[in-house]
Amino acid sequence: MSAADALRKAADLYERKALDYAPNEDDPYENFKFAATFAARVGSGLPDWDQRRATLTLIGVKLSRMHTLGLCRDASNEAISDTIVDLMVYLAILKEQCVRKTQEDPS
């Protein structure tokens, strides 16, 4: 596959996925704003280097997708049930990170 073909394929994938995450053509990055706001609010007070900030951002991206699609709309890519599983995994990771942080610093 040529570089141009790879870029075209990536662009097609981006356009399909964008429909599930940010359908507003006026603001194609609204899902990033949602995820950043979510992570900032929930992670308020965490140090900049804390891994939980990254996990919260990933959770925010998946919540944004659910907010965009709801439970009844057909997705362009993966089913909403896959997003729910992704959220379950990210939440389990966050729980483990919080438990480890508490064990490291019980104060």
Q: Comparing C-alpha atoms, which of 28, 57, 18 is closest to residue 40?
A: 57
Under the banding of pLDDT at 50, 70 and 90, the label for residue 8 is: very high
Residue 82: which H helix or E strand, with range? Answer: helix 80-104
The more confidently predicted of residues 18 and 60 is 60
Two tokens at 66? Answer: 């659910």
Please tell me which residue, 24 or 59, carries the higher pLDDT value. Answer: 59
How do the domains of the chain map onto residue ranges?
3-104
Indicate the range of 19-23, 44-48, 78-82 predicted with least confidence: 19-23
Higher confidence at residue 78 or residue 63?
A: 63
User: What is the residue type of 42?
Assistant: V
